[in-house]
Structure 1
Amino acid sequence: MKIGILTFHDGINYGAYLQVYSLYHVLQDLGAEPEILNYKGFFHWRWEYRCLLWTKRPTRLAANLKKLFEFRRCQKMLKQTSFTFYRKHLPYYDKVIVGSDEIWNYSVAHRDDIYFGIGLPAREKYTYAASFGSVSQDDNIPANLLSGLQTFKKISVRDENSMTLIRHNLPQKECVKVLDPTLLYDFNGEEVEPVEKNYVLIYTTYNAIPEAVQNEIIQFAKKHNKTLIAVGYHMPWCEKNFDTLNPFEWIGFFKCADMVITTMFHGTMFSIKYKKEFCTILEPYRVNKLKDLLTEFGLGNRIYDEKKGVDGVLDIPIDYPLLEGRLRARKQMSIDYIKSVIEDDNLSSHNS
């Protein structure tokens, strides 16, 4: 069965690409024929390209263009519709899955209501691991977006904050919490491993880690005789930077890292996936996406605080056999949810 996927599939962002790549291949492995809805609203598209290309530094522009090319090459690995800014030009599907990723963060000005099911060309609509991101769990979802969410046949989210928002605003709607698709798919053999060894991997955005914490990380690396390597974004305080990697080179750096320090959701997911000792520095923007997940799986002690410091987090080993046991049931439940979408043959008419 052909199933459409609508998400942020084409952003120049490692997590965004790898989550859709993972969901796409999990659907394939379960016997479906996935196809990416190659759509993006014009204002969202313009905002992303402005962030990527608006710079007065020629070297930064050249690096970003190289990164753009690497991502576009990888995005061609997935079957997609023709690109369009207009939802009316999208083909019609019996089933569309919306998600994963932070598709429901309506606090962001460029957010598009199609991700809430409005104008989505599908007979049956489902979500997988959708997130409201930084929207407060106490918010009242705007009425027009709420009307769109009511048209979904099944809803699944990836964090407790999003679960609470759905339960508060749509109490009659069943909602389940599932794992991010990157934790369901086995990348074994697809990683491009680096020649670098004996390093602490840094994955963060510009200015997300305060200078005092940067200095603490530098001292930690010196103490343990490790090289500081940053991926994805250039960090001048790190010894080596690899900021134009393709997604498979990026996961190769995670696979081979000795330790990881990150502020990012998928930096944390891939640290867990490759069983790394890691430290997550929580930013206010990402607290909703990360804190409950880490706490739920007994990883609350991986969150940085000033009292513990980086040493206090990374010097305590993670019991990965115990964690795998905790994740096993959630992985199976997540796969079962996807199977239920594929096998749901009771198609009925819905307004789109």
Structure 2
Amino acid sequence: MKIGILTFHHVDNYGATLQACALWSFLKSQSYDVEIIDYRPLKIAWIYFRALLPIKRVKSSNSESKKIRINEKSLIYISRNWKMRRFLLSHVKLSQKKFYDKKGLKYYHDKYDVVICGSDQIWCIDSFRGYNSSFFLDFVSNKTTRKISYAASFGNTTKLGTSQQEICTLINQFQTILVRDSNSREIIANECNKKAIKVLDPTFLIKYDALKRPPKIKNKYLLLYIQAEIQAEEEEFIKFLAQEQNLTIVSVGRSERLAQINLESASPKEWIGLHSEAFYIVTNTYHGTVFSMIFNKPFTVFLPNDKSNKVRDLLNDFGLTNRIFSDKLKSQLFNKEIFNIDYESVSNIIESKIMESKKYLIEAILQG
């Protein structure tokens, strides 16, 4: 059986890279012939490529002539992007043909027995990506190929608006709909009158012993994986945490002023290793939260508005909403409760949901 996966795989983001790798790896472990369809919408590819441009012309301080200088920030982006690309090419199989537009995707209309869309926020129509019918598999033939989703998400989209009729028409062509969060399940039910089942993000489905690269950091450290500006009270909390346990502050993926060690261009393997060895993790991201749980780490989540529904939904499923940053959480520093998570009971829930998610995915592939 040949399976194609359509997801976000060409981006400068650890979570997106690892979820694509995890879904491919799990299906490969089940002896399927599986590949990721190498689709990179030109509009999105350009947004990521533009940030990588390392060269700009600036006036020299010594003369009026313009000289070419290398943008240091862009060099960091280039290094990280290259490492992610190398990781992906080393650990998954991409389709032989690569397309940048929807028209080209029609080549794959009958090339697979099953096409899976997901995971990640591929159905979020309110982001800078906008609505793209390709991620609802409009190019796939209903006669030759089964359409299913796995852990697909609408992200912070709550209403389909003017795209409702077209999206629901496409959704109704899916044999099985597996989503990542309650918001996505409710949209499918309320706006498309279809049943969707909630499953775990694919990063939960595999083990990371062979993928992680432990850091060469001698001291205990607090890991920051943050994708937004840290607010004053959040910075105060981080400093107090570090001082309480004598922790070195390490930031990955982004340079933070309060960190003693900044690893902006870490590879995905280094990113995994940093999470696996951290004494404490502070994040405001979905996958930072996921890997904190995978490696049984005490953690705190700063909850940004644009990610609140998916992160809160994840934490609620595992009884961990108390890990969200709050005044109550700060007070726990004084009695050390903040460093203790009952991972024995949490791990039981995780293992149960992993088995359930795998079951739903395999059944979706085999039905028909």
TM-score by length of 2: 0.88
Corresponding residue number in structure 1 for 2:342: 319
Q: Secondary structure at the match of 1:37?
A: strand
Q: Secondary structure at the match of 1:201?
A: strand
Give the whole-Å Cα distance in 2 for the aligned partners of 1:126 and 1:149: 9
Give the whole-Å Cα distance in 2 for the aligned partners of 1:290 and 1:139: 24
Mapping of 1:53-72 within 5 angstroms?
A: 53=53, 58-72=71-85
Aligned with residue 80 of structure 1, among 89, 94, 97: 94
Give the whole-Å Cα distance in 2 for the aligned partners of 1:140 and 1:132: 15
Give the whole-Å Cα distance in 2 for the aligned partners of 1:231 and 1:310: 27
Give the whole-Å Cα distance in 2 for the aligned partners of 1:180 and 1:46: 27
Mapping of 1:105-144 within 5 angstroms?
A: 105-111=124-130, 112-120=132-140, 123-136=145-158, 142-144=164-166
Give the number of the structure with larger relative contact order, counting CA–CA contacts within 8 Å between residues 6 or more apart: 1
Give the whole-Å Cα distance in 1 for the aligned partners of 2:271 and 2:160: 36
TM-score by length of 1: 0.92
Distance 1:6 1:114, change over 3 A: same
Corresponding residue number in structure 1 for 2:323: 302
Give the whole-Å Cα distance in 2 for the aligned partners of 1:302 and 1:40: 36
Corresponding residue number in structure 2 for 1:243: 264
Q: Structure 2 counterpart of 1:86, which letter?
A: D
Give the whole-Å Cα distance in 2 for the aligned partners of 1:234 and 1:116: 36
Mapping of 1:112-261 within 5 angstroms?
A: 112-120=132-140, 123-136=145-158, 142-171=164-193, 173-196=194-217, 197-207=219-229, 209-261=230-282
Give the whole-Å Cα distance in 2 for the aligned partners of 1:96 and 1:52: 31
Q: Is the 8 A contact 1:275 1:320 kept in 2?
A: yes
Q: Structure 1 counterpart of 2:8, which letter?
A: F
Write out the 4+ residue segments of structure 1 that deviate beyond 6 Å after TM superposition: 54-57, 137-140
How far did 1:74 drift? Answer: 1.1
Q: Structure 1 counterpart of 2:136, which letter?
A: F
Corresponding residue number in structure 2 for 1:275: 296
Give the whole-Å Cα distance in 2 for the aligned partners of 1:298 and 1:257: 22
How far did 1:205 drift? Answer: 1.1
How far did 1:306 drift? Answer: 3.1
Give the whole-Å Cα distance in 1 for the aligned partners of 2:55 and 2:306: 24
Corresponding residue number in structure 2 for 1:342: 365
Corresponding residue number in structure 1 for 2:64: none
Question: Which region of structure 1 is more displaced relative to structure 2, 228-237 or 254-263?
Answer: 228-237
Q: Is the 8 A contact 1:141 1:169 kept in 2?
A: no
Q: Is the 8 A contact 1:106 1:132 kept in 2?
A: yes
Question: Which region of structure 1 is more displaced relative to structure 2, 94-103 or 112-121?
Answer: 112-121
Distance 1:334 1:223, change over 3 A: same
Cα displacement string for residues 27-79 of structure 1 (whole angstroms, at most 9, x for unaligned residues): 01112111110002111111222345489772111111111111111121211
Corresponding residue number in structure 2 for 1:349: none
Distance 1:139 1:303, change over 3 A: farther
Q: Structure 1 counterpart of 2:127, which letter?
A: V
Q: Is the 8 A contact 1:100 1:130 kept in 2?
A: yes
Q: Is the 8 A contact 2:119 2:201 kept in 1?
A: yes
Cα displacement string for residues 149-168 of structure 1 (whole angstroms, at most 9, x for unaligned residues): 22111101111111111111
Tell which structure's C-alpha radius of gyration is larger.
Answer: 2
> For structure 2, which runs of at least 5 residues remain unmatched after alignment?
57-69
Cα displacement string for residues 2-39 of structure 1 (whole angstroms, at most 9, x for unaligned residues): 10000001111100011011111110111211111000
Q: Structure 2 counterpart of 1:107, which letter?
A: D
Give the whole-Å Cα distance in 1 for the aligned partners of 2:15 and 2:255: 17
Corresponding residue number in structure 1 for 2:6: 6
> For structure 1, which runs of at least 5 residues remain unmatched after alignment?
347-352
Q: Secondary structure at the match of 2:145?
A: strand
Paired residues in the alignment total 343
Distance 1:11 1:311, change over 3 A: farther
Q: Secondary structure at the match of 1:135?
A: coil
Aligned with residue 116 of structure 2, among 94, 97, 108: 97
Give the whole-Å Cα distance in 1 for the aligned partners of 2:117 and 2:337: 36
Question: Which region of structure 1 is more displaced relative to structure 2, 225-234 or 316-325?
Answer: 316-325
How far did 1:192 drift? Answer: 0.5
Higher strand share: 2
Q: Is the 8 A contact 1:203 1:262 kept in 2?
A: yes
RMSD of aligned residue pairs (Cα, Å): 2.1
Q: Is the 8 A contact 1:27 1:338 kept in 2?
A: no
Corresponding residue number in structure 1 for 2:60: none
Cα displacement string for residues 304-341 of structure 1 (whole angstroms, at most 9, x for unaligned residues): 11343285596251111101112222111110112113
Q: Secondary structure at the match of 2:241?
A: helix
Q: Structure 1 counterpart of 2:281, which letter?
A: V
